[in-house]
Amino acid sequence: MGVDNHKVIASRLKGVVLDRTLSDMFDQALEPTLINMMRTQLVIGKGDAFQSQTVEESLMILLDSLQPTGVTELYLDPENMFAPLGNLINHDKKTALELFTNRSLDFLGTCIAPSGVLNDGQEALRVEITKPGGEKVSHSFNYGELTLIPVRGSEVIDVNLVPNKLDIGAGRGKMVRHQVRCGKLGLIIDTRGRPMEKYRQPVRLLPFEALGGSD
């Protein structure tokens, strides 16, 4: 609800001209919001909603409420450090940045979530991964699934994302290439569609070592 409200605020007037009255501005039609989840590369969850949750529950809050789209890194601020660090940076920038980098945020992982709608069970996305050492593997994910691929936290992997009639950032059906980082929960593949329907399927865990071939 907070993000939806912010989308309304973060909009701009069409054909803005400075020389006009306030009533004239209210008569103008609003352009679409400036907040575009496909272009949002990083999301941070903070506040009381995350204080008593497990890491997995916090992930589901972020996915189901914000519906990150495209390729998005997901973080938590579990100790609500943002406000104090914002004050500290005015007095000790070096310490504030060190605390922010090393202690403030928990990196959950990178979410890959195409936009669009397909039929349940239809192939939605093929992920082609270059493993450390150069080995290349691929795996297909069906529409309506949410899959976690545990990977070592500091791992950076190259991926080609090939959507089927969906959009992963370059247009419907167009492949994109990314370098992605994998956090506590590894790589997060969310093919439940955007806008997301109310799926209740269990989350699937796919070991990184199991990726391969065309299965």
Cα–Cα dist 188/208, whole Å: 12
Task: Tell me which amino acid residue 201 is.
Answer: Q
Cα–Cα dist 177/180, whole Å: 10
Give the model confidence (pLDDT) of 124-168 as tens digits: 999 998 877 778 889 999 999 999 998 865 588 899 999 999 999
Domain ranges of the chain: 1-35, 36-210
- Give the global pTM: 0.80
Contact in structure between 144 and 137 (CB atoms under 8 Å): no
Cα–Cα dist 65/58, whole Å: 11
Cα–Cα dist 155/165, whole Å: 29
Please determine, for residue 123, whether its predicted confidence score (pLDDT) is greater than 70. yes
Give the closest residue to 187 by CA, choosing from 132, 214, 149.
149
Give the model confidence (pLDDT) of 63-122 as tens digits: 998 999 999 999 998 877 877 888 888 888 888 888 877 777 889 999 999 999 999 889
Give the model confidence (pLDDT) of 39-61 as tens digits: 889 999 988 888 888 999 999 99
